[in-house]
Structure 1
């Protein structure tokens, strides 16, 4: 199976972002047990040491918690999940703004375009 990874970003970061995305989309829900490091590593096609680093990073970010003898679980802290959603939203908006400004568009131009686009979708 495996995942496709971008060459310009460390694999562990891509996996952290992937898992965060799953949590934000509710593909992984609060309190849910994550696969073992070994099983997850095999399923995405990476070394177990890389996956161990991913799990450690998620725990350091307060996104997961390790229960001795039981494994890693998505945090049940709803406030942390909401903070995570806001952090991701901010990162996406900042990246979007940098990209459109690099192409010579203004933020106001893009806001108006997005509003028109949203009205078309309704």
Structure 2
């Protein structure tokens, strides 16, 4: 029987990313960190929209993006589930996205009064969370 995973998402109105992107990014992070595990069932589109007080179409778009990318598995009549890990993007696309993310990061922190060593340390701490094994509740 699939586990109904609690989905706690913070949507920030001041975030420059669209809400659809915030939802998709948060779910990707939770899967990568092991907070959502393979086979976990996600809330329905309507359920998550009510929880976040947003339009169901916004949630549907985020879920669709994650399904196309292979993060989620839609099962007819049953719902959405965290999919088995697989190669989601080509090596070239992975590198392109890494380059773009690094450029955005540099653009964001350029004017801050931190040394490169401090910024890299903070980034390493954030990434370390993803490598820690998580226990199921």
TM-score of the alignment, normalized to the shorter chain, above 0.5: yes
Displacement of 1:66 in angstroms is 0.4
Displacement of 1:65 in angstroms is 1.3
Displacement of 1:39 in angstroms is 1.1
Instruction: Structure 2: state its 5+ residue gaps.
Output: 1-7, 125-137
Determine whether 1:65 maps to 2:65.
no
User: Contact 1:2/1:45 (CA < 8 Å) preserved in 2?
Assistant: no
User: Contact 1:2/1:43 (CA < 8 Å) preserved in 2?
Assistant: no
Determine whether 1:98 maps to 2:107.
yes
Secondary structure in 2 matching 1:73: strand
Structure 1 vs Structure 2 CA RMSD: 3.4
Instruction: Structure 1: state its 5+ residue gaps.
Output: none
User: Contact 2:11/2:19 (CA < 8 Å) preserved in 1?
Assistant: no
Richer in helix (by share): 1
Displacement of 1:69 in angstroms is 1.0
Alignment CA distance shift 1:37-1:95 (3 Å)? same
Match of 1:5 in 2: 12
What is the number of residues matched between the two proteins?
A: 108
Secondary structure in 1 matching 2:74: strand
TM-score scaled by length of structure 2: 0.61
Extract structure 1 runs of 4+ deviating beyond 6 A: none
Displacement of 1:79 in angstroms is 4.4
